[in-house]
Amino acid sequence: MSEEKNTGVNTITVDLTGFFVILTIIFSVLKLTHCIEWSWLWVTSFLWLPYAIALIAFVIWSIVVIAIMIAALIFGIMKGLR
């Protein structure tokens, strides 16, 4: 038997994967029945858009971290020269 340690932190996890798949199926049916005239790019966007948003957030976070590291390096060197 494994014993789990309670850290006192409550977390809530929401899995929206099924919701996005259902939306994609609904919009695919609407597209195939000519009820909507959207591009297939937007019909399937519920499958790839969350990953694209996560990728953009990661790139922005990486740029900020690199900028902070460069600033610390530059100001650290300048501070040492005084």
Range of the domain at 28: 17-81
Asked whether residue 11 is assigned to any structural domain, the reply reads no
Q: Give per-residue pLDDT as tens, 46-64.
A: 999 989 999 999 999 999 9
Asked whether residue 1 is assigned to any structural domain, the reply reads no
pLDDT band at 4 (very low <50, low <70, confident <90, very high): low
**pLDDT of the residue at 15:** 73
Question: With left for phi above 0 and alpha for psi between -120 and 50, is residue 56 left, alpha or beta?
Answer: alpha
> 45-81 and 17-32 helices cross at what angle (nearest 10)?
130
Res 75 pLDDT > 60: yes
* Radius of gyration of the CA atoms of the chain, in A: 23
Asked whether residue 5 is assigned to any structural domain, the reply reads no
Asked whether residue 73 is assigned to any structural domain, the reply reads yes
CA–CA gap between residue 1 and residue 5 (Å, rounded): 13
Q: Report how many domains make up the chain.
A: 1
Torsion sign (Cα): 2, 12, 54, 36: positive
